[in-house]
Structures are given as C-alpha cells and as structure tokens.
Structure 1
Amino acid sequence: MRSVTHRSGRRILTGAAAMALAAGGVATVTAVPAAAAECKAVSVISARGTWEPQEGSWLQKPMGDLILQKFPGQAKYTELTYPAQPSFNTSAPVGVGNLISTLNSETQACPNQKYILLGYSQGAGVVGDALAATSARIWGADKGTVSSAASSRIAAIVMFGDIRFRAGEPYNVGTFEPGKQSGNPPPRPLGALSTYSSRIQNYCVRDDFVCQGSTGNFIAHLAYFTNGMPTQGVNFAVAKVQGG
C-alpha cells in the first residue's frame, strides 16, 4: 500500500524535512488508495511524518522490520500513500481517506487479519483523525468511517510527536509536561479515541513543539529517533497482537 497539508501560522517539519531540504527537493506523490494485498495474520500500516520519504520512513520502517521479525512469515508492512507535505489541509485528508479505505478493503478481503497502526507527527494526526468520529476530525470529515469489522481488528496504535496531541488522555506516554498539548493544528477533542484507548500508546517528549505547542523546539521533535520509545512501542504492539 502506498500512502502520501493544514495551513497554519507555522509549518511543522520532521527530521526528514530538514534532510529532504538539504538534499534539494521533494518528489510529488500521487495518492492512490491501496487494494487489499495477500492476507497475513498481522498488517502493519505506517503513516509517516512530514517530508519523510514515501518508501522507507526513517522512524517507522525500522519498527516495522522489528515487528515482522516477531511474526516471521505472518506479517506485512506497508506505508500509507499520502503527500506528507506541510500544507496539512490538502495533505492530511488524502491520508485519512486512504487509511480508512485500506482498513475497510483489507478487512473485507482478510477478515481475520489484525492491524498495527504507526504514526509520526502529521502521520499521527492522520491516524487519529481516520479513527475518530467525523465530528472530531479537522481533516477528512467527508472520507467515511472505519467499519466496525475493521475497527475490531485493530490490535495496536502507536504514535509519536502527534500533531493533534491532547493532554489528559490515559494512553499518553513520555516526558511531556502535564497540561501541554498541540496548538496549531488544534488537539483532538478529549475522548475522541476512547474506543481504542486500551490499544493506544501516544508518545510525546518535553519541549517537542509539535505535541507540546509552539513553546517547544524542533530538536525535541527528533528525539524519537534515538530515545528508545520506538522499541517500547514495538513491544506494546506485539503484546497487543498476542492478546496482552
């Protein structure tokens, strides 16, 4: 499956963004909803951060590799097709629609398949809005909803530097300051993902200007690449798939 902008007063970049700019440009990606592929016991779907490459998310591809090692021959890893550009109002809705379409079509074709959803930065916002009720979304309210059958097969949701991080949720994890949350785009409504509460780990670190508001900094938003939280997320997801 392939995957690919909220206009705000500021542009939020991931570590991939800085590297992409240094490399001299970003390729345009045309979003095409993915068709259901071969059935596996576990399907890992990754929604990358702004300006990360369409293939090979620098944060989440290594996580996918670890999960596949835990379920040899029984799992697959795919990266959601969407632009992942800083114009969030045109980029994120594509991701929301493609994720909903993928979950619904794969579940119809593979009803026994379980899902692990990964999201970083803008990608975390995409995952959250896709799973939330349309009234709780700021992106993709016209993209339909995840079917009850697909929803029941989502075993784990792991997010980092969530662009719509809401303080006070029971699934928040990390060194964040209590009470601080994303600012622009706004945080999702409290309880918007309550259906999945026991299946979520939403990682946020202190001073991350994406999940902690504009008072933070960009360097903190890159901490997830080296702070061990992705490994914690993998362990959480694997345990959930195994019934934990």
Structure 2
Amino acid sequence: MGLAGAALLAAGVLVVAPSAVSGGGPLAAATDCPDVEVIFARGTSEPPGVGRVGQALVDSLREQTGLNIDAYGVNYPAGRLQLGGGDGANDTISRVKSVVQTCPNTKIVLGGYSQGASVMDIVAGVPVGGITWGNALPAQYADHVVALATFGNIADRSGTPISSQSQLLGSKTIDVCNPSDPICHAGPGNQWSGHTEGYVPVYTDQAARFIAARLLAGQPHLPGDSQPQPT
C-alpha cells in the first residue's frame, strides 16, 4: 500500500469510528434516555394517548422543571363499560419494567384521569371495590416511581384514595378531586362538567407543582405541600 492509500485508510477510520461509537454503545443509550417518563392512563372514551388531562400535566411539568420529559399513554380500551382496568394496570407495569431496564436513571411519574385513575388504583395495590383483575406494581420497582397523580378518581368518593391507602405508593401520591366533580365528590353542587372540564389547567398545574418538587428536590414530602380538599 502506498502513502496515498494509507492516508485514505486513516481518514476513513477517523470518519467511521465516531459514528460507530455513537451508534450502539452505552453512551448512545444514555443520551436517548429522558430525565423523566410520565406514564398516564387516559379517561373513558378518550382516543389513544395520554388524553387531555395527561397532556396538560406533561406540558405543565415541562414548563415548571425544564427537564427532558417523555410521555407514554397507557394501552388499554378505556371503554364505557370500564372492563379494561386490569389491562391498563398490566400495561403500566410492563412499561415501568421496560423503562427501568433500558433507562435505569430515568425518573418515572404515574398518572391517570377518571377511568385511568382506577387503573392506577390497581397499580398501587388498592383497587376500588376489591377488583381482582390486573396486578399491583411489584415492590422492587416502587423506588423508580417518583410520584403518582390521579384526577377524578372514584376512590376519593368512597374515602379510599391512593394517598392514604397504598403502602406501595401512597406517600408519593396526590389525589386531585375538583369539588364539583360527581365522580370523586359526593357533596352538593356537583355537575358533570366538573368532571369533564374541571381539571385543566388549575388542577393539572397543582399536581405538576407537587410532582416537580419531587423531581427537582427528591424529597418524599415537602412541608406545607397541600392537596385540594373537597368542600
């Protein structure tokens, strides 16, 4: 090989080597991992994805923290008969396991609205009405979950919210109930619009503040951090 050929070969190594390193090594895997992944279960009859409430929560979290946040919409039917909660819980757990395996340093936030909140009841090990289908999150994955937020959870109406009932995730949970929402609040003055329209942006912003404090400070509970109380 002449000097010209050697020079070309060396140049080829210089060009190819960096791309080879960045294509599949640990550095690339770390770079592709977000700071946070929000796993959110949408409400009844919403199209696949995180839904209106979930998207508002994610948007508020991005604004409040400045972190790189990915969103995953729980894959479950969300039909009117509400028979897919177990499927949603199992998909949530599968997604948590996947994130932990591929991106162990990514912080996980769970959430659900309406029927999606019932999905999170199952994940947290406190299903409403003693529902037996679907599984609770295995305890070894709980440390990867920084926070959980539910909106319009029927468990609140019966006085069994995740925040007070779940040994697994209760201390990390904010259960948000709009006082005019008949799904989660049994008091007077309830109206259906309180459930369908009452959470964005006031309550999604409040839940985002609760979650952001934990993402940024890593504290299980901050003094003076309050949850909305039904009136």
Question: Could you say whether these structures have the same fold, taking a TM-score greater than 0.5 normalized by the shorter chain as the test?
Answer: yes
Rounded to whole Å, the distance in 1 between the matches of 2:206 and 2:132 is 29
Matched position secondary structure for 1:59: helix
User: Unaligned 5+ residue runs, structure 2?
Assistant: 1-31, 220-231
Distance 1:133 1:206, change over 3 A: closer
Hey, what does 1:85 align to over in structure 2?
A: 79
Hey, what does 1:52 align to over in structure 2?
A: 46
Q: Which amino acid aligns with 2:141?
A: A
Hey, what does 1:174 align to over in structure 2?
A: none
The two structures have a TM-score, normalised by structure 1, of 0.66
Q: CA RMSD in A?
A: 2.8
Q: Which has the higher helix share?
A: 2
Hey, what does 2:208 align to over in structure 1?
A: 234
Q: CA deviation at 1:42?
A: 0.9
Distance 1:217 1:196, change over 3 A: same
Of the three residues 98, 102, 105, the one matched with 1:112 is 105
Alignment of 1:1-80 (within 5 A): 38-55=32-49, 57-72=51-66, 74-80=68-74
Q: CA deviation at 1:57?
A: 1.2
Hey, what does 1:167 align to over in structure 2?
A: 159
Distance 1:76 1:49, change over 3 A: same
Q: Which ranges of 4 or more aligned residues in structure 1 deviate by more than 6 Å?
A: 133-136
Higher relative contact order (CA 8 A, sep 6+): 1
> Contact conserved, 1:121 with 1:163, CA < 8 A, in 2?
yes
Rounded to whole Å, the distance in 2 between the matches of 1:93 and 1:218 is 26
**How many aligned positions are there?**
185
Hey, what does 1:219 align to over in structure 2?
A: 193
Hey, what does 1:197 align to over in structure 2?
A: 170
The two structures have a TM-score, normalised by structure 2, of 0.69
User: Unaligned 5+ residue runs, structure 1?
Assistant: 1-37, 172-190
Q: Which has the larger radius of gyration?
A: 2
**% of aligned pairs identical?**
24
Hey, what does 2:96 align to over in structure 1?
A: 103
Rounded to whole Å, the distance in 1 between the matches of 2:92 and 2:130 is 14
Rounded to whole Å, the distance in 2 between the matches of 1:106 and 1:226 is 28
Rounded to whole Å, the distance in 2 between the matches of 1:72 and 1:111 is 20
Q: CA deviation at 1:63?
A: 1.6
